[in-house]
A and B are shown apart, each in its own frame.
Chain A
Amino acid sequence: GAGVSQSPSNKVTEKGKDVELRCDPISGHTALYWYRQSLGQGLEFLIYFQGNSAPDKSGLPSDRFSAERTGGSVSTLTIQRTQQEDSAVYLCASSLGGAGMNTEAFFGQGTRLTVV
């Protein structure tokens, strides 16, 4: 696609419900990242997929959070039993390779999650 696409753009959910956030990376990009942006907290790394390698899940804040990347393309971030502190903007990014090389990470517009 032309850019990284995330859906939904906004999600309001009740505490305790599960939510799924979707990311469509740029076609051909092997690296995909999820970040969380909370007010005044900057960007918090959640999880990183690179090709067929095992994902780096070191940033996931609890076992309520999980992510999959099917066929090396679309990714879904799932939050189970949502809590109010999960309210944030969830950003997805993709790049040609890992960001350590001269490869730019392209970000989606994010999903604003509000847990009420």
Chain B
Amino acid sequence: GNSVTQMEGPVTLSEEAFLTINCTYTATGYPSLFWYVQYPGEGLQLLLKATKADDKGSNKGFEATYRKETTSFHLEKGSVQVSDSAVYFCALSERSRYGGSQGNLIFGKGTKLSVKP
């Protein structure tokens, strides 16, 4: 079945450090890939997405590239800020090769990031 594996946290970095959170997936079809973020005390919200191989999603200085050959969608940011402290979730959703959706989002277990000033 489909699954998402992401690096376990917690991850603690100093401000302005480089961030990588690894995410790999297993899927039988043509998934769309997502990163969601959950800030303290807030609900989950979409950070970025990519819908086909070699697409790069980006938002708020974060980037992730859809790598079909390595089945990966690693999240990166060149210089983290204290305000980036949150839990980050990698997710996938299958889609038909003919377009259209096939159902639910499958999430990784989440990675907690803490950024120290």
Contact = CB atoms under 8 A, between A and B. Distances in A.
A48 B95 CA distance: 15
A2 interface: no
A62 interface: no
Given A41-B109, A100-B93, A107 B43 contact: yes
Contacts of B31: 100
B101 interface: yes
Closest 8 CB pairs of A and B: A98-B101, A100-B95, A100-B101, A42-B109, A43-B107, A107-B44, A99-B93, A48-B104
Contacts of A65: none
Contacts of B83: none
Interface size for chain B: under 10, 10 to 19, 20 to 34, or 35 or more residues? 20 to 34
Interface of B: 31-32, 34, 36, 42-46, 49, 51, 89, 91, 93-96, 99-110
Interface of A: 4, 31, 33, 35, 40-43, 45, 48, 50, 56, 59, 91, 93, 97-110
Contacts of A99: 32, 34, 93, 101, 103-105
Interface of A, helix, strand, loop or mixed by DSSP: loop
Contact of B105 (A41, A45, A109): A45
Given A99-B32, A100-B95, A104-B49, A91 B101 contact: no
